[in-house]
Structure 1
Amino acid sequence: MTATPHDREIESLEEFDDVVARGSLAGHRVQSVDLTGRTADLLRADTASAVFLGCPMEPDAAAKVRADGALVFPPVPDLPFDPYRGLLYSPDDLFGGLADGGYESTPDALAYGWFQRTKADSDIFASMLRAVHDDSISDALDEHLAGERVVGVMGGHAMGRGTDAYAGAARLGRELARAGFTVATGGGPGAMEAANLGAYAAPHPDEMLDDALLLLAKTPTFVPSVSDWAQAAFEVRHRWPRGGDSVGIPTWFYGHEPPNAFAGHIAKYFANATREDGLLARSNAGVIFLPGAAGTLQEIFDNATPNYYESRGEPTPMVLVNRHHWTEHLPAWPLLRSLARGRSMEARIALVDSVEEAPAALLRLPADAH
């Protein structure tokens, strides 16, 4: 069997040791693995055509692998993020230090601060680092979602904890996860957090979600304190550990909106356009659109465009929730239906009145990933 590029990627010490034990490192790509304790292995192994991305190593090991013909991209000092990281973020990665120093001290906040300082200064090095980071995240996301049936849940960031709408979005996420789908959201607050919370609650008894919603309602939004808002989420995680997995795909472009802590795997990007397209493109089993404003409206037609042209193969199902919202308040549905008329996507769109109807509507629509 021909090796794929992912077969040649090494993203942990365990993978490194396994490859070394089986023979050569030649042609492999090693991402953000601390190799300072593996000098003997590097001096002994064949590393021709290997690439080391942000891997600390001793000077004699670095000199040897370069002499073999390997490319070595050293770690970049004084950055609040790792541009070469090989894995998606976890909530603990982004919110490290929250309990001691508040949100302002976390890696997530520090990365946003760096982005704010560098995004407008036209520094080619900073823009290159952002691009390398985002491409590394996309690679990690593809690896994580390989073979998964992914349902995207889109909706407004302003949906507050403690509301009926938030509870409905959480129950939606739980039902999708229990049906075997991987829930993917924009990774932020509001409807996005609710859907990730529901997926987290999926392995627990039904009462767990009811109790978690009551606990979270005490801190309805991330304003005025992101710290209090995030700490409430971690209290839920600590009280009910071993929750279900889901994916959040947020962005530092909207860094004033923090990521939520209920997505087990977080693909955070600097470039919002890459994040938006990536989220929709990976929702291979369909997308459910909860009520939202401009951002959600944009996502509807961002998803409709490749469906219209069938540029991603068969169109993916689209379910819009809340008839009044999408026909009267923001009348996206009439335009979407007109756009779909006479095309194969016409059979893959649905409008429902309530969030409770969305999973069944999604399952009625044809989709290759079902």
Structure 2
Amino acid sequence: MSGSGSPDSGERDGRREQHLGPVVRRRGQVMPGTADQRLLDTRGPSDWVHGDPWRVLRIQSEFVEGFGALAELGPAVSVFGSARTRPGAPEYELGRRIGRGLAEAGFAVITGGGPGAMEAANRGASESGGVSVGLGIELPFEQGLNEYVDIGVNFRYFFVRKTMFVKYAQGFLVLPGGLGTLDELFEALTLVQTQKVTRFPIVLVGTEYWSGLAAWVRDTVIAGGKASEKDLALFHVTDDVDEAIALVTKP
């Protein structure tokens, strides 16, 4: 388009056409003004901060912040478990022992940063002089990061947070938990099964809690042809804290 008209809009075969970077808009989808004009016009509506293009930038910023905070973390293991586990309960003390054991083995502990089993693992690591990391998530029932977190990052988006759990850990220790714990568990299993990540041990701690799930995977999912027999080797179930830590920390 040349002459005195706008450099990014004009007519083509009688049709209105507008070029906005890599995007072409025609007919009724042509937008008034230019990108610079809309950027500099402070009197315009603020709806743009809720639009998808702006969300992309927020997603990008979350990746940048997460990578920046954790890039120099060193060896780490992600620990998952229920936010509803009460302090003093056997599962809480189990998480605390796991956090302590990981710290003594020279590993940072990464959790979701919330209460319950997450707090227990962070607490055990902190009490043993290890690095305690909490990756929080924005939820309607916001709980905030527990007091034992040394490095904390809060996320808006689950998928960004999940990336951090996997990228900066060399394995998962999974304590008894609910839907969020199951979500992280099966996400990790899928990544290992599809070889998106390699050498990524996944250990479920608590045979009484997890044996039913393991049996269902074996007797229903695999028996029904929905997974392979070798997929049973993607995870290990144990009650032994020392064994669990050895499995996720071995080179």
TM-score higher than 0.5: yes
> Measured at CA, do residues 353 and 171 of structure 1 come closer, stay the same or move farther in structure 2, by a change above 3 Å?
closer
Q: Secondary structure at the match of 2:139?
A: helix
Q: Is this contact kept in 2: 1:248–1:265, CA < 8 A?
A: yes
Q: Is this contact kept in 2: 1:322–1:353, CA < 8 A?
A: yes
Q: Which of 214, 217, 237 in structure 2 is aligned with 1:351?
A: 237
> Deviation digits for residues 288-328 of structure 1, max 9, x if unmatched?
0000111111111111111111013x141000011121123
> Deviation digits for residues 217-265 of structure 1, max 9, x if unmatched?
xxxxxxxxxxxxxxxxxxxxxxxxxxx4221111113543322121111
1:200 aligns with 2:126: yes
Q: Is this contact kept in 1: 2:82–2:117, CA < 8 A?
A: yes
Q: Is this contact kept in 1: 2:173–2:244, CA < 8 A?
A: yes
Amino acid at match of 1:143: G
> Measured at CA, do residues 146 and 169 of structure 1 come closer, stay the same or move farther in structure 2, by a change above 3 Å?
same
Alignment of 1:182-197 (within 5 A): 182-197=108-123
RMSD: 2.8
- Which of 1 and 2 has higher RCO (CA within 8 Å, sep 6+)? 2
Please give the alpha-carbon distance, in whole angstroms, between the structure 1 residues aligned to 2:104 and 2:56. Answer: 36
Please give the alpha-carbon distance, in whole angstroms, between the structure 2 residues aligned to 1:184 and 1:140. Answer: 16
Please give the alpha-carbon distance, in whole angstroms, between the structure 2 residues aligned to 1:278 and 1:333. Answer: 30
Deviation at 1:190, TM superposition (A): 0.6
Q: Secondary structure at the match of 1:266?
A: strand
What is the aligned partner in structure 2 of residue 125 from structure 1?
49
Deviation at 1:150, TM superposition (A): 1.8
What is the aligned partner in structure 2 of residue 252 from structure 1?
138
Gap runs ≥5 in structure 1: 1-72, 74-121, 204-243, 365-369
What is the aligned partner in structure 2 of residue 309 from structure 1?
194
Amino acid at match of 1:151: V
What is the aligned partner in structure 1 of residue 97 from structure 2?
171
Q: Secondary structure at the match of 1:151?
A: strand
Q: Is this contact kept in 2: 1:253–1:272, CA < 8 A?
A: no
1:360 aligns with 2:236: no
Please give the alpha-carbon distance, in whole angstroms, between the structure 2 residues aligned to 1:305 and 1:297. Answer: 12
What is the aligned partner in structure 2 of residue 298 from structure 1?
183
Q: Is this contact kept in 2: 1:169–1:198, CA < 8 A?
A: yes
Q: Is this contact kept in 1: 2:135–2:154, CA < 8 A?
A: yes
The count of residues paired between Structure 1 and Structure 2 equals 199
Gap runs ≥5 in structure 2: 1-38, 40-45
Structure number with larger C-alpha Rg: 2
Q: Secondary structure at the match of 2:155?
A: coil
Identity of matched residues, %: 31
Q: Secondary structure at the match of 1:250?
A: strand
Higher normalized helix content (fraction of residues)? 1
Q: Secondary structure at the match of 2:122?
A: helix
Please give the alpha-carbon distance, in whole angstroms, between the structure 1 residues aligned to 2:164 and 2:201. Answer: 16
Q: What is the TM-score with the length of structure 2 in the denominator?
A: 0.69
Please give the alpha-carbon distance, in whole angstroms, between the structure 2 residues aligned to 1:130 and 1:196. Answer: 31
Q: Is this contact kept in 1: 2:203–2:237, CA < 8 A?
A: yes
What is the aligned partner in structure 2 of residue 159 from structure 1?
85
Q: Is this contact kept in 1: 2:77–2:248, CA < 8 A?
A: no
Q: Which of 40, 46, 60 in structure 2 is aligned with 1:135?
A: 60
Amino acid at match of 1:319: V
Please give the alpha-carbon distance, in whole angstroms, between the structure 2 residues aligned to 1:353 and 1:281. Answer: 26
Amino acid at match of 1:305: T
Q: Is this contact kept in 1: 2:122–2:149, CA < 8 A?
A: yes
What is the aligned partner in structure 1 of residue 159 from structure 2?
273
Higher normalized strand content (fraction of residues)? 2
Q: Is this contact kept in 2: 1:321–1:352, CA < 8 A?
A: yes
Amino acid at match of 2:132: S
Please give the alpha-carbon distance, in whole angstroms, between the structure 1 residues aligned to 2:145 and 2:68. Answer: 21
Amino acid at match of 2:135: I
Q: Is this contact kept in 1: 2:211–2:237, CA < 8 A?
A: no
> Measured at CA, do residues 194 and 130 of structure 1 come closer, stay the same or move farther in structure 2, by a change above 3 Å?
farther
1:324 aligns with 2:249: no
Deviation at 1:335, TM superposition (A): 1.6
